[in-house]
Amino acid sequence: MIHLRLLILLQLLTVSSFAQREAYSWIWGLCGLADDCSGIYGTAVMRFNDDSIASIDTVNFPSDFLGFSTCISNAEGRLLMASNQEYLFDSSGNILQEFFSPEDTVVYARQSALFFKLKDSSSDYYFLGTKAERIIPPAGYPALNNRTKHHLLTKISADENGFEIISVDTLLRNDTVTGGGIHACRHANGRDWWIFQSTFNHKRFLRGLLTPEGLTFEMYEGPGPDSFEPFAFNKFSPDGSKFFHFLPGYPRKMQIYDFDRCTGELSNLSEIEFADWIENPADFNPFSLSPDGSKIYMGRSKPGPESSYQNIQVNVENSQMTLVADSVYSPCLTPNLKWVVSGYQEVPFTPIDRLNVFTQPNSLGNASGRIKNLYSLPVDGFIIEPPEWANHLLGPIDSTLCDSLGLNDDLTIQKVEAYSLTLFPNPGHNAVNVNTSLPVPLRLTIRNAQGMHVFESDFNKNNFSLNYELNELTPGIYFVEVSNAVKKARVVRKWVKLD
């Protein structure tokens, strides 16, 4: 365990439950392309209010912020921590943690990462990232299998006393099949996080569930067709109801799924073809979504001999495409879920020192309210990938019967103190007796530790037994929920199946 205290005081305010603002400041930018930075990199820090940009400041960091950067703010929306591919920083550019040791004998490349916070009352923050190890593939194997990905979790405490690194780069998993960024969506209980990362087979995803007990991963197969590409871009819609999965290269198509925040399941696949709008298969196409999830904003190279970059807008409902901006780069939805912004330059390949803003991004085409130079940037930025952030504004689903963790404390979405639920024997083997005071009719649902449904049935009595229904369940922890839809009430208890 590594402990690191810095004499930096933070003012973290307690706010009402599910009113988190932990992404309201961004860090974005790099040393000017034509400048001699001498090791100091000026980076723009943008602080957002609920409906505007409050300020754009400059912080000098000892390392550049290119792709795969991420950041998190405190409850006031002030920048708290940031990370590029090499370091974990505080808001003043001080290094909290270095991710690569000088003693490393293997060449690594840091890849996508995100910050998470589980609940407002906690001072604990989680930093999840991947580190890619370059290896030489065996003869005859494709190049896309030439990296081992290490999925690593760091836990940091940040309070009025400063920072404490509780654990550093805890290894969660190694594999050679994941590609693309880490993206996340709030669980329906409003506290935990579903985490998705693409694999080289784009109907399969690495799916994780982050809870106070830790982070667990599993390989999840969605309903899409087999499609093999080394990289993909992913986004969850701001309301958490959709998952957008863009396949670049020769497919050049957007796969759109319905997403169940309770179970983590993808369903109802639809596709939008982009090949006619993006002529170059090697084009770099990060994308963002409008606040209501109805529009896709994407970057593309300008067709024809005159080089520049453009933003296009695609209407999800009818696949209609509109060119909405020239001389702009990676579009990104602001963390206050109000605007879509990107960097702007008057002349291609000159420093990007203006902010392009779509003030009405839910509207079609020219009605999106584009302002091409609303703010000046103190650095050359907004060039490669937009900063990644998890949507901390997304709260619980109101009146949901879903609480996959079966919590019996103040975090439970809908506590039902008046009703009881008893499971015995607990732990048990292939039989359990259920006794509850909930009124009938009842629905019984069993979920595994990852929140996945493994059994569901209706009952018209308060006392019953499960026997053969449990035979196919593997030993482990399960959560048994008994609910009454009319009363909008439910009780959940943990049950452990033995070998």
pLDDT digits over 177-230, tens only? 777 788 999 988 888 899 998 888 878 898 999 988 888 888 888 887 777 777
Are residues 39 and 169 located together in one domain of the fold?
A: yes
Please tell me the predicted confidence (pLDDT) of residue 29.
Answer: 64
Q: Is residue 290 part of a domain?
A: yes
pLDDT at res. 433: 93
Residue 12 covered by a domain: no
Same domain, 448 and 336: no
| Together in a domain, 199 and 258 | yes
Domain match, 338 and 426 both = no
Same domain for 360 and 454? no
234 vs 181: CA distance, rounded Å: 7
Last residue of a domain, one of 353, 376, 399: 376
pLDDT attached to residue 405? 47
Shared domain for 157 and 281, answered yes or no, is yes
Assess whether 115 and 228 both reside in one domain.
yes
Same domain, 72 and 213: yes
Tallying the residues shown for the chain, one arrives at: 499
The answer to whether the bond into 439 is cis (omega within 30° of 0) is no
CATH of the domain at 446: 2.60.40.3080
- Note whether residue 390 is domain-resident: no
Residue at 16 is within a domain: no
Amino acid at 275: A
Residue 41, pLDDT score: 61
Do 292 and 345 lie in one domain? The reply is yes
CATH of the domain at 235: 2.130.10
- At which of 342, 376, 410 does a domain end? 376
Instruction: Say yes or no: 312 and 447 in one domain.
Output: no
**Parent domain of 293:** 25-376
Q: Last residue of a domain, which of 348, 376, 404?
A: 376
- Residue at 8 is within a domain: no
* Rg over CA atoms, the chain: 24
Strands 432-436 and 463-466: antiparallel
Distance in angstroms (rounded) separating the CA atoms of residues 188 and 447 = 14
Instruction: Kindly list the strands in the beta sheet with 147-159, ordered across the sheet, starting from the edge strand earlier in the chain.
Output: 108-116, 124-134, 147-159, 162-175
CA distance 114 to 184: 8
Residue 148 lies in a domain: yes
Number of domains comprising the chain: 2
Residue 9 forms part of a structural domain: no
Note whether residue 414 is domain-resident.
Answer: no
pLDDT 10s per residue in the chain (499 long)?
333 222 222 222 222 233 456 668 887 765 444 444 445 566 778 888 878 888 888 887 887 776 678 888 887 788 889 888 778 899 888 999 887 766 666 666 667 889 999 877 788 999 998 887 765 555 655 554 456 788 888 999 987 788 998 988 888 888 777 777 889 999 888 888 999 988 888 788 989 999 888 888 888 888 877 777 777 889 999 999 999 999 888 888 999 999 988 888 899 999 999 888 888 777 778 899 999 999 999 988 877 666 678 899 999 999 999 999 987 878 989 888 899 998 888 776 677 778 889 999 999 999 999 998 888 877 766 556 667 888 888 877 754 556 544 443 443 334 344 678 889 998 888 889 999 998 899 999 887 765 667 888 999 999 999 988 888 888 888 888 888 877 767 777 888 888 8
At position 499, the amino acid (one-letter code) is D
